[in-house]
Amino acid sequence: MDTTQQSDARLATTRPTDSEPTDSEPSDSELATEPVAYWTGVAYQDVIRFIRQRQAELGFTQPQYWILRHLSTEDLAADDGGMTVPELTGAMTSYLRPEDDIAGDAEAVLERGWVTRDAAGRLRITAAGDRARAELKSHAPQWRAEIHAGIDDADYATTVRVLRRMMRNVGSALV
């Protein structure tokens, strides 16, 4: 059994369910021996799943939202010059998932009238697209509150600082 499997097996007996009190959490000394790569990976998968489910309930995908953000001068775009699908893909490369299809999502936002495409293939956000982007963005505070429930800002900030330190420790170019 590898370290991750051992961790799963050990914590499976101590991990609380919705009906169990939170005092069944593992101790600090037990948690300190847990593999960070496993837990950050599991957390990432669960948080992305949660966000994408909420977005799907509203009728859009996360990559569609990212496209709108990258094309909006009210958000990430420096100007209204638009971007091609390859440029959008390049801009999103650090957070795209293998299943994401930027070309397909670009077609979907084009069909919805949220973007236009010129003869050179440059996508530009429309007024309707910018309104949709703003409406979609308005849900983020509620989703963040759900994700952060029971976690105060100081604990969250400490968690992010610890993760950033670990990234520096392993030579990450991102921090």
pLDDT tens-digit readout, 65-119: 999 999 999 999 999 999 999 999 999 999 999 999 999 999 999 999 999 999 9
CB-based burial label for 75 (10 Å; 0-12, 13-18, 19+):
middle
Band the pLDDT of 154: cuts 50, 70, 90: very high
Find the mean pLDDT for residues 15-35.
72
> Tell me, what's the pLDDT at 19?
42
* Cβ 40 vs Cβ 163: under 8 Å: yes
Tell me: pLDDT of 23 over 80: no
The H helix count followed by the E strand count for the chain is: 9, 2
> Tell me, what's the pLDDT at 15?
46
Give the type of residue at 140. A
CB-based burial label for 146 (10 Å; 0-12, 13-18, 19+):
exposed
Find the mean pLDDT for residues 11-30.
61
Q: Which of 129, 127, 110, 109 is nearest to 118 (CA)?
A: 110
Classified as helix, coil or strand, 117 is strand
> Tell me, what's the pLDDT at 5?
47
What percentage of the chain carries pLDDT values higher than 70? 87
CA 56 – CA 108 distance, rounded (Å): 14
Find the mean pLDDT for residues 123-127.
98
Residue 116 vs residue 13, higher pLDDT: 116
CATH topology of domain 60-140: Arc Repressor Mutant, subunit A (1.10.10)
pTM of the model: 0.80
